[in-house]
Amino acid sequence: MKCIDKIKNFHCKGILCKRTAVLFLVLSVSAAGCGQEITIDNPYDVYESPRAYGLNTTVSSNSDTAFFAEELCVADTQDKLSGDITASLSEAAGLFNLQEHNMEFGKNVHLRLYPASTTKILTAYTALKHGDLSAKATVTEAELQLEAGSTVCGLSAGDTVTLEELLYGLMLCSGNDAANVIADLVSGSTEEFAKLMNQEALALGATNSHFVNPHGLHDEAHYTTVYDMYLIFQAALQEEMFVTIISSQSHTGIVTAASGETISKDWINTNKYVNGEETVPQGVQVIGGKTGTTNAAGYCLVLFSQKGGTIPYISIVYKSDSRENLYLEMTELLGKISK
């Protein structure tokens, strides 16, 4: 009898099933050998509702037995490469068909990497879930203390700004200053907001991630994977305001200065497909996404696109060695959609 036949009481929780099963089998077989029976303590009950485990579900059903991964792409540990995608251009990448619930391309999708400013996808999602778009924050000097070279949306101490405007500054021009203000406005501190981010990520099944700040500036304890970011991004896309923001080429932010003067700020989307600097393959429409760059993370990009205006896709490239190669590989992924 094969080793896998001797595993008892092993039930998977949908989205994590294949990844967990493969890892468990490798460790168990090497440790115990085929001659020993393996039993899992406290297994996930496949018949129990994911709500009982504190997991979100995208399934619209009145049944308590709706499966967590029923409407999600499931990816195991094996790469799924393609001859028309240059695999050497980045460390990890994925292409996910949201209609067919299928990963059409995958390279190191479970490898932990630094997400840089693609972190702000989770920041925006968490703020939209737990904040009030009309709530106002007054910017402090502490929130503006960022490492040299940080991207900002131009806030000044004493400025008063709504959460809605902060989200535009966060997602379009990747304002790290906006990220800090959002964290304090929603949770009172960066530390508490990071706890909330991790809570939301875990609820979405992103168990291979950990976040310590709302902006993605480098920290060794701040990481995610292509697959986990797919889970986070697809959840954020359920928020209408999130899609409205990421699809905007530009936005004029309204800020009230400490003097009471109303100031307009022009924010341009850093996404080269959205702002027209990169050409999109015929038959594909890029709706929006998020860029990210640090020395440790390399060049990163997360995109939401549609084929023929109807079939939704998420494509992700992490840790490319240059902006040129980042967009080259992403264009190849988009080209696969168009075929």
- pLDDT tens per residue across span 237-256: 999 999 999 999 999 999 99
Selected catalytic residue, list 13, 28, 90, 117: 117
Please state, in angstroms and rounded to a whole number, the distance separating the CA atoms of residues 153 and 159.
12
Domain region containing 36: 1-71
User: Do residue 313 and residue 221 come from a single domain?
Assistant: yes
User: Do residue 153 and residue 289 come from a single domain?
Assistant: yes
- CA 275-280-286 angle, 5° bins: 65
Q: Quickly tell me which residue has 């050409």 as its tokens.
A: 279
Please count the other Cβ atoms lying within 10 Å of the Cβ belonging to residue 233: 24
User: Do residue 291 and residue 203 come from a single domain?
Assistant: yes
Percent of the chain with pLDDT over 70: 81
Domain end position, chosen among 71, 91, 124: 71
Is residue 76, in this structure, part of any structural domain at all?
A: no
Is residue 91, in this structure, part of any structural domain at all?
A: no
Is residue 125, in this structure, part of any structural domain at all?
A: yes
Is residue 185, in this structure, part of any structural domain at all?
A: yes
Q: Which of the four pLDDT bands, split at 50, 70 and 90, describes residue 69?
A: confident
- Considering its fold, how many domains does the chain have in total? 2
Q: Is the pLDDT of residue 145 over 60?
A: yes
User: Do residue 60 and residue 165 come from a single domain?
Assistant: no
Whether pTM > 0.85 for this model: the answer is no
Distances (CA, A) of 189 to 43, 186, 240: 36, 8, 26
**What is the model's pLDDT at position 142?**
98
User: Do residue 50 and residue 141 come from a single domain?
Assistant: no
Q: Which of the four pLDDT bands, split at 50, 70 and 90, describes residue 71?
A: confident
Q: Is the pLDDT of residue 25 over 50?
A: no
Selected catalytic residue, list 28, 90, 107, 120: 120
Q: What's the whole-number mean pLDDT along residues 74-81?
A: 93
Task: Please count the CA atoms within 13 angstroms of the CA of 116 that sit on its side-chain side.
Answer: 20
Q: Is the pLDDT of residue 137 over 70?
A: yes
117 catalytic residue (yes or no): yes
Least confident of 35-49, 121-135, 143-157: 35-49
Tokens of 141: 């000097």
For the domain that residue 144 is a member of, what is the CATH number? 3.40.710.10
User: Do residue 21 and residue 129 come from a single domain?
Assistant: no
User: Do residue 215 and residue 282 come from a single domain?
Assistant: yes
**What is the model's pLDDT at position 3?**
38
- What is the rounded average pLDDT for all residues in the chain? 87
Is residue 303, in this structure, part of any structural domain at all?
A: yes
Please count the other Cβ atoms lying within 10 Å of the Cβ belonging to residue 16: 18
**What is the model's pLDDT at position 300?**
98
Is residue 292, in this structure, part of any structural domain at all?
A: yes
Selected catalytic residue, list 13, 28, 90, 174: 174
User: Do residue 198 and residue 300 come from a single domain?
Assistant: yes
Q: Which of the four pLDDT bands, split at 50, 70 and 90, describes residue 68?
A: confident
Three-class DSSP labels, the chain: CCHHHHEECCCCCHHHHHHHHHHHHHHHHHHHCCCCCEECCCCCCCCCCHHHHCCCCCCCCCCCCCCCCCCCCCCCCCCECCCCCCHHHEEEEEEEECCCCEEEEEECCCCCECCHHHHHHHHHHHHHHHCCCCCEEECCCHHHCCCCCCCCCCCCCCCEEEHHHHHHHHHCCCCHHHHHHHHHHHHCCHHHHHHHHHHHHHHCCCCCCECCCCCCCCCCCCEECHHHHHHHHHHHCCCHHHHHHHCCCEEEEEEECCCCCEEEEEEECCCCCCCCCCCCCCCEEEEEEEEEEECCCEEEEEEEEEECCCEEEEEEEEEECCHHHHHHHHHHHHHHHHC
Domain end position, chosen among 16, 46, 71: 71
278 near 271, Cβ under 8 Å?
no
